[in-house]
Chains A and B, each alone.
Chain A
Amino acid sequence: MPDLLLELFSEEIPARMQAKAADDLRRLVTEKLVAEGLVYEGAKAFATPRRLALTVHGIPARQPDLKTERRGPKVGAPDAAVQGFLKATGLKSLDEAKIQRDPKGDFYIGLIEKAGRDAIDVLAEILPVIIRTFPWPKSMRWGALSAKPGSLSWVRPLHAITATFGLETEEPDIVKFQVDGIESGQTTYGHRFMAPSAISVRRFEDYEAKLLDAKVVLDPERRKDAILTDAKQLAFAQGFELVEDQNLLDEVSGLVEWPVVLMGSFEQEFLKTPDEVIRATIRNNQKCFVVRDPKTGKLASKFILVANIEATDGGKTIIGGNERVIRARLSDAKFFYETDLKTRLEDRLPKFDQIVFHEKLGTQAERIKRIERLAAEIAPLVGADVAKATRAAHLAKADLLTEVVGEFPEVQGLMGKYYALAQGEDASVAAACEEHYKPQGPTDRVPTDPVSVAVALADKLDTLIGFWAIDEKPTGSKDPYALRRAALGVIRLIADNTLRLSLMTVAASALAGLSVQPADGDKIPSDLLAFFADRLKVQLREQGARHDLVDAVFALGGQDDLLMIVRRVEALGKFLESDDGKNLLAGIKRASNILGIEEKKDKRSFDGAPDAALYSLDEEKALAKAIGEVSAEASAAVAKEDFAAAMSAMAKLRPPVDAFFEKVRVNDDDAKVRENRLKLLNEIRSATRAVADFSKIQD
């Protein structure tokens, strides 16, 4: 079966858009083919800076013929209806129609045969539409045709379209169409500088090979492999090791059609600047890789660049030019770093008086004061030195005003640590300057130094309570202040460090420290607590754990110790995996359901202790006894925070509950006995509430 080759040749496509564009092209063309009844065997798309290419192989040469039946009017219907039917079906007269009998009478049936079209004609119809409506994130108009409305819009000017279709063994045909004056054909062009002439291509195999001869590596994966291999090799040959960077590799491979990897150097003296700053300078501004000494792990005074040509002088000029730029950039960075070192972090703080954090939440200076106070309050709860935590909170944001962080925001925190160490701060205080931002996401490292933990919690809780107080909570997909991430950070800080603290108390204190005091302020800490519960659920779901158990624990009320909640949820999860757990849950649910129905019927609850004198059956007595014992045992275990033991105690309820339901009829004819049995059921429910509200657990 024939194959399609499509190439859209344009001016330079932004690197970040190439991969998605190739994928969109493949998806749009193949979906349309299938919708047209042309089921293909395979498809693959490619992108370079100057072209999107697609090969679809094994497309049937023709669409299948389509036969459809159309039901017409009744035999003997008015002429207008008959004429309409003939027109719709294309039949010349009713003689060509069949007559079909059904319970409502005899009807004319027209058979419509639609012959399949040649696939090449279908392609000529669908390709220009796909090109015209291509989903570029940003597109533009150009040239003389842009004077008229509705002219073609593409990511950058489109120059040529190659579209061929045919069998491997034959000369393929051109899929003929035109878009804004660009006629499809079989001519493309090689590398912009090394092989700019026109190339005539027939099908994908010779297209890819001819491009390679014309210094274009079509497949982005091949370009990446080549860059990575050469870069590693080049570094290794000099006794260094490449600092790998996938994002940079992806970007750089989208900037070249013919990657040539070269190595340059810079002066040793720049290595006095922190490695991270050097790397950020070289990566962000110059899109070059850095290398390190494998023995020390420190950066070496070399960089690796990826050029787009095999220069006639072997790359000497290119390396020289890049070295000049990198030298200028590094001397800026070094100057920034050295300038920063001249000012103590605390001397920068007055500037925060002028910087608004959020118009309703005051200045950065006010926020820093709040964090200091909160960190001091949290410090004893997490085993941190109060003075150190206060000092760290005082300095932690100061690096935002340094030159280096102004230039490279991604090194915020890290620079704070370096500057704190340089001015002789305590190691924990310095570490907290960096670590108080952590954890940034679900996979980021959680700090363990108590000083870092205290400041990290204070920072995040101040943010959360602040935005809660001004009612700027996350909604749907909108979370501009990254409050979900902050809440998850709090959860992970507490859980990973096994910290005990009452969130309600800390939240209330944080709230009291705000300059704005909302009208419904007393509701805010509990509202925030519910948000934590939601975040905990999301986190557990992502870990593949049962998130519904969070509700079962929160429903107990008064739960604001996240660590205990997590422990309870874990123990409950394990218990419910056991047979005892599953059956007890079924029993409790059954008890709850019966109670629910009967409470509704009688419009009353069945609280209060059952009367032992009214027990008539052994199973009742046995259950009552078990409830008493289990309650005591479970409560004692919970008091010791031994939730596993509490669950084991619960397990003992299972046999008497099972036996009760098997032998005892709750709705006894004697109203008193019935009431007493319902009270006993209620006791099961309340006994199990020592660990969780089982009725909130999903089956």
Chain B
Amino acid sequence: MDASLPAHMRPERSFQGFILALQRFWAEQGCVILQPYDMEMGAGTFHPATTLRALGPKPWNAAYVQPSRRPKDGRYGENPNRMQHYYQFQVIMKPSPPNLQELYLKSLAAIGIDSAVHDIRFVEDDWESPTLGAWGLGWECWCDGMEVSQFTYFQQVAGFECAPVAGELTYGLERLAMYVQGVDRVYDLNFNGREGDAKVTYGDVFLQAEREYSRHNFEIADTAMLFEQFKMAEAACRKYLESGWREGNRKEHLMALPAYDQCIKASHVFNLLDARGVISVTERQSYILRVRELAKACGEAWIHTEAGGAA
């Protein structure tokens, strides 16, 4: 931890200081620090900087905060740690460096988690995303019995083998910050590290939003419109994929990213419909499959782009 930091910037006092410390740490490891992707998504993995950039031979090191929307997890702001919107901090390094575990442990030290007094453990957890057609092996990382991060070596994304393999780290920021700040309720997190009148809490920033979105996600969201949006996103994705092939031959693709945006859109719309309880168990499977088909087709387009490694 950087001892020269002013008190309100210190990761154990300030949520934003905590995020900045992580960003700074990973910037020093050569990662590009991106800003959140400007679309609603269920996890940082959906960001094209992870999903698409994990494919293809080119090296890629990036870190970013991604607001993650899980409509079903909304609790009207009444649960101490479950929310329909929260932050993930995502690191992706391709190829996975040989010392990735050590880097991860150093990043914990940078946010005030000292391995001399904390019990840090790597506990088996195989990661799979049926919607992204992706899987990897790794761990959930435990700190004193609490899961604080996911650590995954991507083996396959969008149905394609990762060659080389990328290492992915996902930190649950609120949970980690709650631990470091010693608070039991997420809304009590000190957001800006100030005290007294100048103090802004996580609740000041997000509690109203949690109430409003929970109401929206569970009760009001217009399902007829959402069903329509799903179809439109799916059709748009297919259309961009089809018309993106240069001169119609399947050698070079010119629109993988816009097409993938529609895949992200479809996935989020599906999550909203699911939260509204209008998708039956059998239909659920088929929606997941439809999103996966889009993700796979986008993956295929991506590996035929310049950044995806096409010659």
Binds A, one of B4-12, B141-149, B210-218, B284-292: B141-149
Q: Which residues of A contact B146 (CB under 8 A)?
A: 321, 324-325
Instruction: Determine if B80 and A143 form an interchain contact, defined as CB atoms under 8 angstroms apart.
Output: no
B227 to chain A, nearest CB (A): 20
> With an 8 A cutoff between CB atoms, is A34 at the interface?
no
Interface string of B137-171 (1 = CB under 8 A from A): 11100011110000001010000001111010000
Interface residues of B in 84-104 (CB under 8 A from A): 95-98, 101
Of B81, B95, B144, which one neighbours A321 at CB under 8 angstroms? B144
Instruction: Determine if B163 and A146 form an interchain contact, defined as CB atoms under 8 angstroms apart.
Output: yes
**CA–CA, A326 and B184, complex, Å:** 12
Instruction: Determine if B95 and A255 form an interchain contact, defined as CB atoms under 8 angstroms apart.
Output: no
Binds A, one of B24-32, B116-124, B254-262: B116-124
Q: Which residue of A lies closest to B123 (CB)?
A: A255
Instruction: Determine if A193 and B122 form an interchain contact, defined as CB atoms under 8 angstroms apart.
Output: no
Binds B, one of A54-62, A77-85, A309-317, A673-681: A309-317
Interface residues of A in 148-170 (CB under 8 A from B): 148-149, 155-157, 159
Interface residues of A in 321-356 (CB under 8 A from B): 321-322, 324-326, 328, 356
Known: A143-B96, A321-B179. A12 touches B184 (CB 8 A): no
Instruction: Determine if B163 and A143 form an interchain contact, defined as CB atoms under 8 angstroms apart.
Output: no
B102 to chain A, nearest CB (A): 9
Q: Which residue of A lies closest to B139 (CB)?
A: A12
> With an 8 A cutoff between CB atoms, is A16 at the interface?
yes
Q: Which residues of B contact A309 (CB under 8 A)?
A: 115-116, 119
Binds B, one of A134-142, A199-207, A465-473, A555-563: A134-142
> With an 8 A cutoff between CB atoms, is A519 at the interface?
no
Known: A140-B153, A324-B146, A324-B184. A317 touches B117 (CB 8 A): yes
Instruction: Determine if A320 and B144 form an interchain contact, defined as CB atoms under 8 angstroms apart.
Output: yes
Which 4 residue pairs spanning A and B have beta carbons closest together? A321-B144, A14-B124, A147-B164, A12-B122
Of B80, B119, B155, B184, which one neighbours A141 at CB under 8 angstroms? B155
Instruction: Determine if B117 and A145 form an interchain contact, defined as CB atoms under 8 angstroms apart.
Output: no
21 example contacts (A-B, Cβ-Cβ < 8 A) are as follows: A14-B124, A15-B123, A49-B122, A138-B126, A140-B137, A141-B162, A143-B164, A144-B95, A146-B96, A146-B164, A147-B57, A156-B137, A156-B138, A311-B118, A317-B117, A320-B144, A321-B145, A321-B146, A322-B145, A325-B144, A326-B145
Q: Which residue of A lies closest to B162 (CB)?
A: A146
Q: Which residues of B contact A307 (CB under 8 A)?
A: 119
> With an 8 A cutoff between CB atoms, is A305 at the interface?
yes
Q: Which residues of B contact A631 (CB under 8 A)?
A: none
Instruction: Determine if A321 and B98 form an interchain contact, defined as CB atoms under 8 angstroms apart.
Output: no
> With an 8 A cutoff between CB atoms, is A308 at the interface?
yes
Known: A146-B164, A322-B145, A324-B146. A157 touches B118 (CB 8 A): no
Known: A147-B163, A255-B121, A321-B118. A142 touches B153 (CB 8 A): yes
**CA–CA, A159 and B126, complex, Å:** 20
**CA–CA, A320 and B119, complex, Å:** 11
Interface string of A114-146 (1 = CB under 8 A from B): 000000000000000000000000111111111
A225 to chain B, nearest CB (A): 21
Known: A193-B115, A255-B121. A157 touches B98 (CB 8 A): yes
Of A146, A149, A326, which one neighbours B165 at CB under 8 angstroms? A146
> With an 8 A cutoff between CB atoms, is A641 at the interface?
no
> With an 8 A cutoff between CB atoms, is B136 at the interface?
yes
Q: Which residue of A lies closest to B95 (CB)?
A: A144
Instruction: Determine if A311 and B124 form an interchain contact, defined as CB atoms under 8 angstroms apart.
Output: no
**CA–CA, A157 and B80, complex, Å:** 37
Of B119, B124, B126, which one neighbours A318 at CB under 8 angstroms? B119
Interface string of B241-253 (1 = CB under 8 A from A): 0000000000000
> With an 8 A cutoff between CB atoms, is A423 at the interface?
no
B108 to chain A, nearest CB (A): 11
Instruction: Determine if A324 and B164 form an interchain contact, defined as CB atoms under 8 angstroms apart.
Output: no
Contact residue range for chain B? 35 or more
Instruction: Determine if A157 and B153 form an interchain contact, defined as CB atoms under 8 angstroms apart.
Output: yes
Interface residues of B in 187-221 (CB under 8 A from A): none
Contact residue range for chain A? 35 or more
Interface residues of A in 2-35 (CB under 8 A from B): 11-12, 14-16
Of A140, A147, A256, which one neighbours B136 at CB under 8 angstroms? A140
> With an 8 A cutoff between CB atoms, is A486 at the interface?
no
Instruction: Determine if B137 and A138 form an interchain contact, defined as CB atoms under 8 angstroms apart.
Output: yes
Q: Which residues of A contact B155 (CB under 8 A)?
A: 140-141
> With an 8 A cutoff between CB atoms, is A288 at the interface?
yes
Extra contacts besides A140-B165, A318-B144 (14): CB < 8 Å: A143-B95, A156-B153, A193-B115, A193-B116, A286-B145, A308-B120, A311-B119, A318-B117, A321-B144, A321-B145, A321-B179, A328-B80, A328-B81, A356-B281
Interface string of A286-311 (1 = CB under 8 A from B): 10100000000000000001011101
Most buried by A among B115, B122, B184: B122
A670 to chain B, nearest CB (A): 79
Instruction: Determine if A313 and B95 form an interchain contact, defined as CB atoms under 8 angstroms apart.
Output: no
Q: Which residues of B contact A148 (CB under 8 A)?
A: 163
Q: Which residues of A contact B57 (CB under 8 A)?
A: 147
A312 to chain B, nearest CB (A): 5
**CA–CA, A140 and B162, complex, Å:** 11
A270 to chain B, nearest CB (A): 15
Q: Which residues of B contact A141 (CB under 8 A)?
A: 153, 155, 162, 164-165
Q: Which residue of A lies closest to B124 (CB)?
A: A14
Instruction: Determine if B117 and A312 form an interchain contact, defined as CB atoms under 8 angstroms apart.
Output: yes
Q: Which residue of B lies closest to A49 (CB)?
A: B122
Instruction: Determine if A318 and B118 form an interchain contact, defined as CB atoms under 8 angstroms apart.
Output: yes
Interface residues of B in 15-30 (CB under 8 A from A): none
A481 to chain B, nearest CB (A): 19
Q: Which residue of B lies closest to A196 (CB)?
A: B102
Instruction: Determine if A317 and B144 form an interchain contact, defined as CB atoms under 8 angstroms apart.
Output: yes
A179 to chain B, nearest CB (A): 15
Q: Which residues of B contact A16 (CB under 8 A)?
A: 124
Q: Which residue of A lies closest to B99 (CB)?
A: A159
Known: A308-B121, A328-B80. A142 touches B145 (CB 8 A): no
**CA–CA, A12 and B167, complex, Å:** 15
Instruction: Determine if B184 and A193 form an interchain contact, defined as CB atoms under 8 angstroms apart.
Output: no
Q: Which residue of A lies closest to B282 (CB)?
A: A356
Instruction: Determine if B116 and A312 form an interchain contact, defined as CB atoms under 8 angstroms apart.
Output: yes
Q: Which residues of B contact A320 (CB under 8 A)?
A: 144
Instruction: Determine if B165 and A313 form an interchain contact, defined as CB atoms under 8 angstroms apart.
Output: no
Q: Which residue of B lies closest to A313 (CB)?
A: B117
Q: Which residue of B lies closest to A12 (CB)?
A: B122
Most buried by B among A138, A142, A193: A142
**CA–CA, A655 and B121, complex, Å:** 78
Of B124, B126, B164, B179, which one neighbours A145 at CB under 8 angstroms? B164
Q: Which residues of A contact B137 (CB under 8 A)?
A: 138-140, 155-156
B100 to chain A, nearest CB (A): 8
**CA–CA, A309 and B121, complex, Å:** 10
Of B96, B138, B143, B184, which one neighbours A328 at CB under 8 angstroms? B184
Q: Which residues of A contact B165 (CB under 8 A)?
A: 140-143, 146
Q: Which residue of B lies closest to A332 (CB)?
A: B79
Of B120, B122, B126, which one neighbours A11 at CB under 8 angstroms? B122
Q: Which residues of B contact A312 (CB under 8 A)?
A: 116-117
Instruction: Determine if A321 and B162 form an interchain contact, defined as CB atoms under 8 angstroms apart.
Output: no
Instruction: Determine if B98 and A159 form an interchain contact, defined as CB atoms under 8 angstroms apart.
Output: yes
Q: Which residue of B lies closest to A155 (CB)?
A: B137
**CA–CA, A42 and B138, complex, Å:** 35
**CA–CA, A145 and B179, complex, Å:** 37
**CA–CA, A444 and B3, complex, Å:** 61
